[in-house]
Amino acid sequence: MERRVVVTGLGAVTPLGMGAQPTWDAMRAGRSGITNVTLFDASAFASQVAGEVKDFDPAAWMERRDVRHTDRFVQFAIVAAKMAAEDSGLDFDTVDRNRMGVLIGSGIGGTWTWEAQHRILVERGPGRVSPFFIPMMIIDMAAGRVAMLFGAGGPNSAAVTACATSAHAVGDAAEIIRRGDAEMMIAGGAEAAVSPLALAGFCAMRALSRRNDDPPAASRPFDRDRDGFVMAEGAGILMLEDLDHARRRGAAIHGEIVGYGMSADAYHITQPSPDGSGMARSMEAALRRAGIGADDIDYINAHGTATPTGDPAETRALKTVFGERAAQIPCSSTKSVTGHLLGAAGAVELIACLYAIRDRVVPPTINLDNPDPECDLDYVPGQAREMRVRTAMTNSFGFGGHNATLIVRGYD
C-alpha cells in the first residue's frame, strides 16, 4: 500500500519576517515586504525594488566559521531548516537518521559568492580566489549542509527548475517517502539573488517592475497596470513524514500532501505558452495523483508573478482545468506582498496554503486596483477572506517551461 505523506514542520525566512508564522501573519494582513534595494547601491538600475530579508544575522543561528564559508542562500536554507525541525518536534536522537533525507533546491544559487570571487580574480589574480568558492556557490550545497547539520543520511538531492524549484523539491521529496526510500524528508528551496549581477540580468530582460517610487505597490499580479515581477529572497523549508511515522511519535500534523503534478511547456526559454496548456497539464496531473476532481479544490495559490504574459496564461490554464467553476474558486497571489522568491517561492506558498487550511482564511492579492480584462477570475483583491479551506492547490512555473503543482489538504 502506498504511503501517505504529511507535513509536520514549517520554516520560512522571507521579506515578511523570520519564521513561517510571521510570514503568514503579514500575508494574511496584506502587508507588503517590498522596499527599495538596500543590499547594494541600485541607483543605476532600471528596477530598484526588491523583497529583501531584513536584519538577517546568520551568526545568531550558525557558527561564525560556517557563516564565513557559506553563501547567503545556504544560510537562509539552514535557518529555515532549523525552524522546520524545531516546529516538527522531532527528537533526532530517537529517530533513524539514515531514513531521513534532504531535498533543497535553488533557482540561481550562490550569486553573491560568484560575484565576489570574480572581482578577486580580476583585481588580484587566480591565486587569490578562495578555496571555498566552489563549495559555497554550488546549488546542492544547501541540501548537503542541512544533511550534515542533522546527520540525515538518507536520499539527498537538489532541484533546479528556476521558479518551480522548491515546488519540485517538495513534490519529489514526497514521492521518495511514498515509495518507501525515506520516512522523513527536509524539503524546500532557498534563494539569495538580490545581487548586482542577477538584478542587472533580470533588468536586461525587462522582466522586473520599474515602479521605483512606490515599492509596496510594485508587485501587481493580475492588475492591468502591472509591469513585471519584483525580485525577492529567502527560504521555505518543510519537514515531511510518512504518516505512520508521524503518528507513532505523536506529531502535530499541519496537513497532507495528496497531489503533485509536473509538465513542460516545450515552448520558449522564458515565456509561457500563451494558451496555458503546459500549466493546465501540470494541474491536471496533480489532481489525478490526488485522486480528486476539480470540484474538490477550495483555494488556489496562484503563480501570479505580475508579468504581462504569465498572468493571462495562468488564467487561461485555470479555465481549462476548472471550467465554469474557475470563476468561483478563490485564487490569490501572495507574491503581491512577498515579491518573487524565485526558487524558494513554491515552498513558501505551500506554507501559505497550509495556514489557509488551518485558519480558515484565504490571503489577499494586494495592489489589484484595475483588474486586467484578460484576468477575470476571483483573485481575492485587497483583503483576506474568511472561508473554510479543506483542500488547496499551489502553482509554480519557471523559465524553461518547467511547471509544478502541489495539492494539500487538512489532516483530521
In this prediction, residues 236-255 reach a mean pLDDT of: 98
d(CA 43, CA 130): 30
Give the closest residue to 49 by CA, choosing from 266, 194, 224, 225: 194
For residues 272 and 31, the answer to whether their CB atoms sit within 8 Å is no
Residue with cell 583585481: 123
Domain ranges of the chain: 5-248, 258-409
- Alpha-carbon span 143 to 135, nearest angstrom: 12
State residue 132's pLDDT score.
Answer: 97
Question: Quick check: 59 pLDDT over 80?
Answer: yes
Confidence bin at 412 (pLDDT 50/70/90):
confident
- The confidence score (pLDDT) of residue 242 equals 98
Neighbours of 128 (CB within 10 A): 10
Q: Burial letters for 233-262: b for 16+ Cβ neighbours within 10 Å, e otherwise?
A: bbbbbbbbbbbebbeeeebebbbbbbbbbb
Average pLDDT, the chain: 97
- Tens of pLDDT, residue by residue over 211-220, are 999 999 999 9
| Segment 139-165 mean pLDDT | 98
Specify whether the CB–CB gap between 225 and 369 falls below 8 A.
yes
The C-alpha cell 533557482 sits at: 107
Q: What is the pLDDT of residue 110?
A: 97
Residue 219: all three cell numbers together: 508587485
* Residue 81 pLDDT: 98
Helix (H) or strand (E) holding 361: strand 361-362
Work out the pLDDT band at 2, boundaries 50, 70, 90.
confident
- The confidence score (pLDDT) of residue 29 equals 98
Residue 135 has pLDDT above 90, yes or no: yes
Across 34-72, b (16+ Cβ under 10 Å) vs e yields bbebebeebeebbbbbbbbbeebebeebbeeebbebbbb
Taking the CA atoms of residue 313, residue 316, residue 322 and residue 326 in that order, the dihedral angle to the nearest 10 degrees is: 100
Does the predicted TM-score (pTM) go above 0.75?
yes
% the chain with pLDDT above 70: 100
Q: What is the pLDDT of residue 318?
A: 98
Neighbouring-strand partners of residue 111: none
Rounded-to-integer distance, Cα 333 and Cα 328, Å: 16
What confidence score (pLDDT) does residue 339 get? 98
CB-based contact 20:83 (threshold 8 Å): yes
Coil, helix or strand at residue 391? strand
| Cβ atoms of residues 285 and 406 within 8 Å | no
Tell me if 5-248 shares its fold with 258-409: yes
pLDDT digits (tens, 9 = 90+) for 316-374: 999 999 999 999 999 999 999 999 999 999 999 999 999 999 999 999 999 999 999 99
The domain 5-248 is classified under which CATH number: 3.40.50.300, 2.60.40.420, 2.102.10.10, 3.40.47.10? 3.40.47.10
Q: CA-CA-CA-CA torsion for 22, 25, 27, 30, nearest 10 degrees? A: -130
- For the annotated catalytic residues, the residue numbers are 163, 303, 340
Q: What is the dihedral of CA 47, 48, 49, 52, to 10 degrees?
A: 120
- For residue 217, report the phi and psi dihedrals to the nearest 5 degrees: -100, 5
Reduced to 3 states (helix: H, G, I; strand: E, B; else coil), residue 38 is: coil
CATH fold of 258-409: Peroxisomal Thiolase; Chain A, domain 1 (3.40.47)
69-121 pLDDT, tens digit per residue, is: 999 999 999 999 999 999 999 999 999 999 999 999 999 999 999 999 999 99
As given in the structure block, the three cell numbers for residue 203 are 533588468
Cβ atoms of residues 19 and 76 within 8 Å: no
Contact 136, 123 (CB under 8 A): no
